[in-house]
Structure 1
């Protein structure tokens, strides 16, 4: 089963992009999670 949504307990979700998710880690750091997702409009 593919992973379609990232969730991390205790972290605040800051934003989503086409292939990236941003989470707050404490007061002065962020966690960037990148995936291999592509959209129907990407040229491969």
Structure 2
């Protein structure tokens, strides 16, 4: 939605920022999946 609005008002910085967001989100999700299990605290088996 933001990308469509940015194209409509013809503002390049907003267009570029909107286009790169999916890559940033994908990278963050990939990093969470890769390092997510290492950051979990150990569970006590009592």
TM-score band w.r.t. shorter chain: under 0.3
More strand per residue: 1 or 2?
A: 1
Tell which structure's C-alpha radius of gyration is larger: 2
Structure with greater proportional helix content: 2
| TM-score after normalising by structure 1 | 0.21
State TM-score, norm by structure 2.
0.21
